[in-house]
Structure 1
Amino acid sequence: MKMNKPNSEEIKVTSEVGRLRRLLIHSPDRGLGKVVPSKAQDWLFEDIVHLDTMRREEYDYYVKLLLYFLDPEKVKGKIAEIDADTTRAFYKPGNAGYFNSKKVIDLQSLLTDILKDEVVRTKLIASICGIEKCSHATQLELAQHEPEELARIFISGSQSDERMLFSPLPNLIFTRDIGIVINDHILLNRPAKAARTRESLLAQYIFFHHPLFADYRDKIIEIPDNARHFLIPEDEQLSDFNRSTLEGGDVMMVAPRHLLIGCSERTTLYAAQQTMKILFKKNVVDTITIVQIPKKRDYMHIDTVFTQVKKNVWVLLGSLARQGDDSRKKDVLHFFGPEVLGQKMKIMQFYKGLEQKPIEIENLEDLLADISRNDLGSTEDVKFIYSGNKEFPFGEREQWTDSCNLLALKDGVVIGYDRNDKTLEAFRAAGFRTIKAADLLAEFEAGSLSPDTITDTFIMLPSAELSRARGGSHCMSMPMLRDEA
Structure 2
Amino acid sequence: MTAPPAKPYADSEVGRLRTVMLHRPGPELKRLTPRNNDDLLFDGIPWVGRAQEEHDAFAEALRGHGVEVLYLADLVRETLAVPDARAMVTEAVLADPRLGVGLRKAVGQLLDTLEPTALAEVLMAGLAHHELRTGRDTLTYTLMDEHDFVIDPLPNLLFTRDSSVWIGDQVAVTSFAMPARSRETTLTEAIYTHHPRFAGTELVYEPGFEHVEGGDVLLLAPGVIAVGVGERTTPAGAERLAQRVFERGLAHTVLALPIAQERATMHLDTICTMVDVDAVVMYPNIADSLVAYTMTAGEQPRLTGPEPFLTAAAKAMRIDMLRVIDTGLDPVTAEREQWDDGNNTLCIEPRLAVAYERNIETNARLEEAGIEVVRIAGSELGSGRGGPRCMSCPVSREPLQR
With normalisation by structure 2, the TM-score equals 0.87
- The answer to whether structure 1 residue 474 and structure 2 residue 398 are counterparts is no
1:169 aligned to which of 154, 157, 173? 154
SS at match of 2:183: helix
Instruction: Give the corresponding residue for 1:385.
Output: 325
Query: C-alpha separation between the residues in 1 aligned to 2:163 and 2:292?
Result: 24
Note if contact 1:185-1:221 (Cα within 8 Å) is conserved in structure 2.
no
Instruction: Give the corresponding residue for 2:92.
Output: 127
Structure 2 counterpart of 1:366, one-letter code: T
Instruction: Give the corresponding residue for 1:43.
Output: 40
Note if contact 1:223-1:274 (Cα within 8 Å) is conserved in structure 2.
no
Equivalences, count: 377
**CA distance change for structure 1 residues 21 and 383 in 2, over 3 Å: closer, same or farther?**
same
Deviations 1:187-243 (A, max 9, x none): 1111001111211211122221112221223x4432654xxxxxxxxxxxxxxxxxx
**CA distance change for structure 1 residues 224 and 30 in 2, over 3 Å: closer, same or farther?**
closer
Query: How many angstroms does 1:354 deviate by?
Result: 6.9
Note if contact 1:316-1:385 (Cα within 8 Å) is conserved in structure 2.
yes
Query: C-alpha separation between the residues in 1 aligned to 2:259 and 2:106?
Result: 46
1:190 aligned to which of 162, 167, 175? 175
Query: How many angstroms does 1:117 deviate by?
Result: 2.1
2:310 aligned to which of 361, 365, 377? 365
Query: How many angstroms does 1:424 deviate by?
Result: 2.0
Instruction: Give the corresponding residue for 1:221.
Output: 205
- The answer to whether structure 1 residue 245 and structure 2 residue 211 are counterparts is yes
Query: C-alpha separation between the residues in 2 aligned to 1:223 and 1:268?
Result: 14
**CA distance change for structure 1 residues 399 and 386 in 2, over 3 Å: closer, same or farther?**
farther
402-411 vs 127-136, greater mean Cα deviation: 127-136
SS at match of 1:348: strand
2:277 aligned to which of 287, 295, 311? 311
Unaligned runs of 5+ in 1: 1-5, 72-102, 226-243, 324-344, 432-455
Instruction: Give the corresponding residue for 1:63.
Output: 59
| Percent of residue pairs identical | 29
**CA distance change for structure 1 residues 183 and 136 in 2, over 3 Å: closer, same or farther?**
same
Note if contact 2:355-2:363 (Cα within 8 Å) is conserved in structure 1.
no
Note if contact 2:82-2:194 (Cα within 8 Å) is conserved in structure 1.
no
SS at match of 1:8: coil
Structure 1 counterpart of 2:399, one-letter code: E
Unaligned runs of 5+ in 2: 133-148
SS at match of 1:289: strand
SS at match of 1:298: helix
- The answer to whether structure 1 residue 116 and structure 2 residue 81 are counterparts is yes
Q: How does 1:421-440 map to 2 (within 5 A)?
A: 421-431=360-370
Note if contact 2:174-2:206 (Cα within 8 Å) is conserved in structure 1.
yes
**CA distance change for structure 1 residues 214 and 420 in 2, over 3 Å: closer, same or farther?**
same
Deviations 1:24-46 (A, max 9, x none): 11111111111011211111112
Deviations 1:133-188 (A, max 9, x none): 254223222222221121111111148x9886422111111001101011111111
Note if contact 1:223-1:275 (Cα within 8 Å) is conserved in structure 2.
no
SS at match of 1:393: helix
Instruction: Give the corresponding residue for 1:397.
Output: 336
Query: C-alpha separation between the residues in 2 aligned to 1:120 and 1:308?
Result: 35
125-134 vs 312-321, greater mean Cα deviation: 125-134
Query: C-alpha separation between the residues in 1 aligned to 2:301 and 2:25?
Result: 46
**CA distance change for structure 1 residues 123 and 362 in 2, over 3 Å: closer, same or farther?**
closer
Structure 2 counterpart of 1:172, one-letter code: L
Query: How many angstroms does 1:8 deviate by?
Result: 2.6
**CA distance change for structure 1 residues 175 and 118 in 2, over 3 Å: closer, same or farther?**
same
Query: How many angstroms does 1:104 deviate by?
Result: 1.2
**CA distance change for structure 1 residues 468 and 356 in 2, over 3 Å: closer, same or farther?**
closer
Q: How does 1:27-38 map to 2 (within 5 A)?
A: 27-38=24-35
Query: How many angstroms does 1:255 deviate by?
Result: 1.4
Instruction: Give the corresponding residue for 1:329.
Output: none
**CA distance change for structure 1 residues 391 and 277 in 2, over 3 Å: closer, same or farther?**
same
Query: C-alpha separation between the residues in 1 aligned to 2:62 and 2:367?
Result: 23
Structure 2 counterpart of 1:249, one-letter code: G
Note if contact 1:317-1:386 (Cα within 8 Å) is conserved in structure 2.
no
SS at match of 1:216: coil
Instruction: Give the corresponding residue for 2:194.
Output: 209
**CA distance change for structure 1 residues 146 and 274 in 2, over 3 Å: closer, same or farther?**
same
SS at match of 2:390: coil
Query: C-alpha separation between the residues in 1 aligned to 2:165 and 2:199?
Result: 17
Query: C-alpha separation between the residues in 2 aligned to 1:350 and 1:137?
Result: 49
Query: How many angstroms does 1:371 deviate by?
Result: 6.0
**CA distance change for structure 1 residues 261 and 412 in 2, over 3 Å: closer, same or farther?**
same
Deviations 1:240-279 (A, max 9, x none): xxxx211001111121111111111000001111111222
Instruction: Give the corresponding residue for 1:284.
Output: 250
Question: Where is the helix percentage greater, Structure 1 or Structure 2?
Answer: 1
SS at match of 1:319: coil
Instruction: Give the corresponding residue for 1:156.
Output: 125
Query: C-alpha separation between the residues in 2 aligned to 1:201 and 1:223?
Result: 8
Instruction: Give the corresponding residue for 2:136.
Output: none
